[in-house]
Amino acid sequence: MYDLLALLLLIASVLGWILGRYSKTESQQSVISQKPIYFRGLNFLLSEQPDKAIDLFIESLEVTAETIETHLALGNLFRRRGEVERAIKIHQNIIAHADLTATQYAAALLELGQDYMSAGLIDRAENLHLELINMGFYLKPALQNLKEIYQQEKDWEKCLKIASQLSNVTGQSQKIDSAHYYCEQAEEAIKIYYLTDAWSFTEQALQMDPTCIRAILLKAKLAQQRRDYNAAIQYYKQALAQNPNFFSETASGLIAIHKQLNQEEALIEYLYELYTIQHDPQILLALAELETSEKKLADIELLFQAHLHEHTDLLTVKYFIALLIKRSTKSKNFANSQELLKIIQQALDQVAKDQQKYRCVKCGFMSNHLHWQCPGCKRWGTIRFSADC
């Protein structure tokens, strides 16, 4: 609505400008010939036909040094309104004029490149942005747009190259993003079983950003795959020491390895310690899965109760019911409640099925699984597990 109003005001002022310009500078004959454009345009605006007013504007206002800003502003407004074809027409119309200065030509090129991105014409957008970089104009937005284009194309090597150029141009570190580009390459290598290459990509990711949790988790996964269990445990613990918020990404690996090694007790001890640092109900759920004695399960129940006093969220209730079901199989006191608990569990599973458990700490985007690049704000590594989404 705001864009439409701005567009109408812009056109009205331009039509007024045409009238004024010709009234002052041209012959009486020109005034007579141009006045109808103004009145026709005004008539289109008043009769709520902005499209016709816009077409009239494009036809009647020549691209010159004086009018180029208006053309650029109009093209921009069209793109923001989602009318990309019209924006492209306007920006192509500007570029077709040979008498532009290099800066004006570059400004139109940047706009047209953005139009192509909005229209999904990625190859054309890429070429225009590369041309801008060769010309040495608008380096920062051109590199930022190219980075976005290569991310869309999942061309991680090009992303790395552009990130390095962007860091040189802006002085802003691109190391977090670059580490994720290496992780993307590591994941692609894992898919085709190029495990040595995958390992090397995780090393490069950590050289870029030694705190990259994703790279550490990938190392844990790779170590687990090659049955180097002790190394895998160390990597999982390293990831959690750095950020205990990623427990959901380590839980199944840690449990599987410790069961494989018959070292459940060691994991239980570690998880109790971890829970003192991070009150994540998933840790209680993991403990409930590992503990076998009725007394220990009763202790975990108390921890759950304390947790629920402070945070009543659906997922914790769901985990709590899972614990009660396990207790009901161990204790005669609970045996009668087992059927009822299972009914509650099924109902909770249904309700929690589409529960969004992950949230971006920067823009608040919510999802039911972990994205390493936020689909909302496009930042890397900003999404975390949150039981109370």
Positions in the binding site for Zn ion (CB under 5 A): 360, 362-363, 365, 374, 376-377
23: which residues sit within 8 A by CB, 6+ positions away?
31
Question: What distances in angstroms separate CA 27 from CA 23, 33, 154, one per listed residue?
Answer: 8, 10, 59
d(CA 322, CA 271): 18
Least gap, CB of 322 to Zn ion (angstroms): 31
In the bound state with Zn ion, the residue whose beta carbon lies nearer, of 213 and 374, is 374
d(CA 267, CA 176): 31
d(CA 30, CA 206): 69
Least gap, CB of 200 to Zn ion (angstroms): 30
In the bound state with Zn ion, the residue whose beta carbon lies nearer, of 115 and 177, is 177
- The DSSP secondary-structure symbol of 99 reads T
Closest CA to 72 of 97, 51, 52, 48: 97
In the bound state with Zn ion, the residue whose beta carbon lies nearer, of 254 and 383, is 383
In the bound state with Zn ion, the residue whose beta carbon lies nearer, of 35 and 384, is 384
In the bound state with Zn ion, the residue whose beta carbon lies nearer, of 44 and 365, is 365
Least gap, CB of 85 to Zn ion (angstroms): 30
Least gap, CB of 358 to Zn ion (angstroms): 11
d(CA 256, CA 264): 10
d(CA 264, CA 250): 15
Least gap, CB of 363 to Zn ion (angstroms): 3
Q: Which residues pair with 385 in a beta bridge?
A: 358
In the bound state with Zn ion, the residue whose beta carbon lies nearer, of 235 and 365, is 365
Least gap, CB of 352 to Zn ion (angstroms): 23
In the bound state with Zn ion, the residue whose beta carbon lies nearer, of 55 and 148, is 148
Q: Which tokens in the block code for residue 121?
A: 């014409």
Q: Are 214 and 381 in contact (CB under 8 A)?
A: yes
Least gap, CB of 46 to Zn ion (angstroms): 43
d(CA 124, CA 56): 28
Least gap, CB of 281 to Zn ion (angstroms): 24
d(CA 383, CA 365): 8
Q: How many CA atoms lie within 13 A of 355 on its CB side?
A: 18
Closest CA to 318 of 337, 304, 334: 304
313 C-beta neighbours (distance < 10 Å), count: 18
In the bound state with Zn ion, the residue whose beta carbon lies nearer, of 277 and 377, is 377
